[in-house]
Each structure stands twice: as C-alpha cells, then as structure tokens.
Amino acid sequence: MGMFDSFHISASALTSQRLRMDTVSANIANAQTTRGKLVDGEWQPYTRKMTVLQEAPFRKRLDAVNGGVQVSQIIEDDAPYKLVYNPNHPDADERGYVQMPNVDLLKEMVDLMGATRSYEANIAAMNASKAMLVKAMEIGKG
C-alpha cells in the first residue's frame, strides 16, 4: 500500500457519497412529480432512484490505486406508485385517482443522513491520514 492510498480510498468514498446525496436530493425534489417519464404514450410518475455502491476493483499495477468504493449503477425502485384520490388533478384517472411517485420522504431523509455521516467519517479518515503523514515527516527532524 502506497503512502497516499488512504487519501485516494477516502476520496473515492467522498465522491460516491456525494452522488448518493445527489440522488436522494433528486428523489425529494420529484416527490410530487406526476409526469416523470413517457411510457407507451402515457405519462408515468417519477420513479425513485437508488445508488448501488461496490468495492472498487483491485489492480495489481504499482501505479494504480487499490481499494476504495464506486457507484456501480443507479437503479429505479420497483415499489408500486401511490394512489391518491384527487379528482380535480389533471392526471387523475376516470375514478379520480392520481398515481404519485413511489418516493417516501422518511426513507429519503434516513438515506440522506446515512450518506452525510459516511461523508463526514471519510473526511475524518482523511484528516487522520494527514496527521499521521505530518508526524512521520517530523520524525526525521531533530
């Protein structure tokens, strides 16, 4: 393991958690969007997105960073849409129900808190690595 690999690993985690927070933010912003995408000529509500994280692939080259995390994909949640009775809504069906996005604000806030705490933990790890490198450089001084 190289001297700066811990910085690269923490940086990859920071990037992944930032994308996770961006995905959660998009879900919250579209929690009331009834026209998210056009499927077979009909509008469907916005569908909740989720990030899938995985370990970054290990490389056997000396110049490659080994370890870390990366976003492997962003998937759509297959939970059913919520039906809300609102006959005055322009997207209501003949019975007066509107399909609303499958976004649960409570789940999104929990996911956002988890991503924020992971982000903060990786900043703390970077600061600890920096402090260790500074102390290691001070060893030679005398």
Spans of all domains in the chain: 3-140
Contacts of 123 (CB under 8 A, 6+ apart): 10, 14
Over residues 83-130, the pLDDT tens digits come to 999 999 999 999 999 999 999 999 999 999 999 999 999 999 999 999
Q: What angle do CA 104, 80, 71 make, to 5 degrees?
A: 65
Distance between CA atoms of residues 7 and 118, nearest Å: 15
The model's pTM is 0.85
Say what the pLDDT of residue 120 is: 97
> What is the rounded average pLDDT for all residues in the chain?
90
Tokens of 110: 């929990």
> Which of 18-22, 29-33, 53-57, 84-88 bottoms out in mean pLDDT, i.e. has the lowest?
53-57
pLDDT at 65 exceeding the cut of 70 = no
